[in-house]
Structure 1
């Protein structure tokens, strides 16, 4: 069998660009001084919405034939939308959880490995059949298409509309990225299972025995806030430790504390309420969460 592998073949420019963009994004996310820059947002969007799919499409379709450029781009977006949630699902079932650094590392490793595999596949093909992108030729072609002499008034109108649309898109992205926008004040209130994940909650209890949940409160109110909490089983308050009865959190501070639930009476499908009150309203819960539990008699 004839081999087309070329030992001196350069790393394809499109794959090199993708890998370089991944590394650059990692730098702007992980280095504290750079992570506050709007460039982090500009780089982060393609990392999530385009690059994972592009790397996989490059691996699956290494030849020029089969997919046109616009089809490749559309499929890259669609594949990215499918890949990122799957990676998040895998992370959620590990000790890392869905957090910024593990997600960034997982996406980066996936993209780089897919690009490396795509490069290996392309090396095994004749050079004239291998898919590749010349950025200089693409830019020249786009410039000719946009600025070239139109053949009709309709074509001129369409090209003008295309140019205005591209400028509007770039301007919108720049405005959203650069201009600071104050977030509406809010408080996150959540409960986690005993393993620190949003699943495996204890719902089956024996009367008098305890189960553990983790209470999470994150203050994004742009000021320090005094919270109070109440936990009720079938509208009857359960005892709480002092550190969870009255909670003071500074702005942008998150509290996660374990709480033991010890039901004192039996029942099926009983409502377990977690009620969080802020300092301005003591009678109406500011945030509330619910679990439904079963409690059986002690054997």
Structure 2
């Protein structure tokens, strides 16, 4: 392929390479400024540029006042078939505007698809649609002779004598020389909006937080549900409750958990633990993004409403003296422990004055 012919596809090849590189960065979960620099154009520019390149594969013929004659014949020549082209400068704001149409359209398609609304299907949709449009734009451009194809080039500043609206061939070797100031004003405004949005995205987007999620599994919640966990236990009877551990640390983590029953003295403003008994402990490993549900077995040995269940979660092993203070994550679950039916019946039989 001659160098001249290759230049006719250079912008599309660069755009397609950018999409592939951005997809690779997402696939390997690379974060930071590199990810931001690669993904911002994917959202605000490249999808629209692919649409514009597909719609306008040629550079068109230069139109001048003499050719157009300022008449209806000139207008017909200006908008004749295969002459409906735009210059490189006009493609930039059009690409931004079309990106604002394509990306929300992809999000809408994901919404009505079986896939959940999440980052992964949205990113896959944007990457796939943009790449497909770029390939289609390449095919559309290849259907025209080499001397008619749009060729992107760096913009040139207008000459002092040419005025604001008459710069020659910016971003295209065959762009019209009669661009109007309104188009350039639209370009400036669009670029300002783009720069502002990129700056806002950089300043306002939260940093990738790495954390471990520890939560109670409440099961099915109905109108009759009074608590999200078994809050009423019976003395001497085992009770099961579930909690979930989710790993969002960015790598695999080995967890160890300790479930304990604490008897509290609530006479002070801050409850004091007067008795503690470990009920269950265990350990497991979770990959990044994985969640595990743990079922713990608890058997209370005291009664009253001053009892609580604590779940202590540790990374890379629990210490010799696990507590709320040294736990990586923890749950505090107040419970009310009642006497069993047999104990209550025995107490009733032994009570003075009871009927026999």
TM-score (norm 2): 0.42
TM-score (norm 1): 0.48
Higher-Rg structure is: 2
